[in-house]
């Protein structure tokens, strides 16, 4: 069966629209950020901030590389674990979202554990994290990790001095065991200034779509900025090991932080392009006996829009 020029044109238009729809998902989030900043009447100099066109072009290129990385990880049964730490509103979630946006959730998954329950509090500290470590062919992104003990638990008094010291005595060996098992372990700290965090908190307060992001713990962390700074400095000093070093992402510019983090992550993994078989859509089988049954109108979602 030959395909007419008009049919080819229609298919091209539909494919183009599908790609644009995919890009629109990202644009919606960026517009939200822009409106949030405008509503907050930001007065800081944005002269050095990356342009929207350059940002999207760079992001899509990096996401294409992430897809290649994913295929390589699956083909070679590689294990990748990435830790994302940083202050509240530092941009960890935005970076994680852009990494996972084009990837298969069965291959690349996010782990964001809630506060430990009563049973978990009696376990070996690392026990509730180990089930979430990657198997072969998986990428796991930890949105906060076992370093809660070195940060929020220390500052808020949720652990004892003995538990705190024990953590730093054992975490290097724990991470060496992870690496020795064949897992690629990366650790990122997202850094923002005092003024930038205050601005982002104010934006969340003024945005009804993002107020849920402000928990009482977040507000308390704002009050204890200096205590968190000291805890971060100790953490970076005592857990920066050759097998699993810390990498600091400058996060005041969200867009640059996302691009820089993804670019750096890709450089840390020796992935290569995996040859792909040509995909051909098979012809659908037709049967003269097949007749599609009509569904009752009441089961359809109303066409309000």
Residue 85 lies in a domain: yes
Query: 18 lies in a domain?
Result: no
Residue 118 banded pLDDT, cuts 50, 70, 90: very high
User: What pLDDT does 40 receive?
Assistant: 45
Q: What is residue 279's three-state secondary structure?
A: coil
Is the pLDDT reported for residue 39 higher than 50? Answer: no
Residue 168 domain-assigned (yes or no):
yes
Mind listing the pLDDT tens digit for each residue in 174-224? Answer: 999 999 999 999 999 999 999 999 999 988 888 888 888 888 888 899 999
Is residue 77, in this structure, part of any structural domain at all?
A: yes
Residues 81/133, Cβ–Cβ less than 8 Å: yes
Query: Has residue 28 been placed in a domain?
Result: no
In a domain, 106, yes or no: yes
Distance CA 144, CA 16 (A): 37
Residue 298 forms part of a structural domain: no
Between 36 and 108, the more confident residue is 108
Domain count, the chain: 1
Q: Which domain holds residue 143?
A: 52-268
Confidence of residue 149 (pLDDT cuts 50, 70, 90): very high
Query: Band of the pLDDT at 227, cuts 50, 70, 90?
Result: very high
* Residue 233 domain-assigned (yes or no): yes
pTM reported for the whole predicted model: 0.85
CATH number of residue 90's parent domain = 3.40.50.300
Share of the chain above pLDDT 70, in %: 85
pLDDT value, residue 48 = 73
CB neighbour list of residue 125: distance below 8 Å, 6 or more residues apart: 146, 149, 163, 166, 167, 170
pLDDT beyond 60 at 56: yes
Check: CB of residue 192 under 8 Å from CB of residue 257. no
């Amino acid at each position: 069966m030959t395909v007419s020029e008009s049919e080819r044109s229609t298919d091209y238009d539909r494919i183009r629209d599908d790609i644009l729809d995919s890009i629109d998902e990202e644009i919606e989030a960026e517009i939200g950020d822009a409106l949030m900043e405008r509503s907050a009447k930001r007065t800081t100099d944005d002269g050095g901030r990356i342009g929207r066109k350059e940002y999207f072009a760079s992001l899509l290129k990096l996401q294409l590389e992430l897809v290649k990385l994913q295929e390589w990880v699956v083909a070679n049964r590689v294990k990748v674990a990435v830790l994302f730490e940083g202050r509240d509103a530092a941009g960890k979630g935005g970076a994680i979202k852009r990494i996972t946006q084009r990837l298969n959730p069965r291959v690349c998954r996010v782990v964001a554990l809630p506060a430990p329950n009563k049973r978990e509090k009696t376990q070996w500290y690392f026990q509730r994290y180990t089930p979430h470590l990657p198997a072969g062919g998986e990428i796991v992104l930890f949105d906060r990790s076992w370093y809660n003990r070195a940060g929020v638990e220390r500052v808020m008094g949720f652990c004892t001095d003995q538990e705190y010291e024990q953590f730093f005595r054992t975490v290097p060996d724990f991470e060496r065991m992870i690496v020795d098992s064949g897992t690629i372990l990366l650790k990122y700290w997202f850094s923002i200034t005092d003024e930038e965090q205050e601005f982002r908190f104010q934006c969340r307060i003024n945005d009804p779509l993002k107020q849920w992001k402000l928990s009482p713990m977040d507000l308390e962390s704002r009050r204890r900025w200096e205590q968190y700074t000291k805890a971060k400095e100790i953490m970076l000093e005592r857990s920066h090991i050759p097998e699993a070093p810390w990498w600091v992402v400058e996060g005041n510019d969200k867009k640059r932080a996302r691009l820089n983090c993804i670019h750096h992550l890709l450089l840390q993994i020796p992935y290569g392009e995996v040859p792909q078989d040509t995909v051909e859509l098979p012809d659908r089988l037709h049967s003269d006996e097949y007749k599609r049954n009509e569904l009752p109108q009441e089961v359809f979602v109303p066409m309000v829009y």
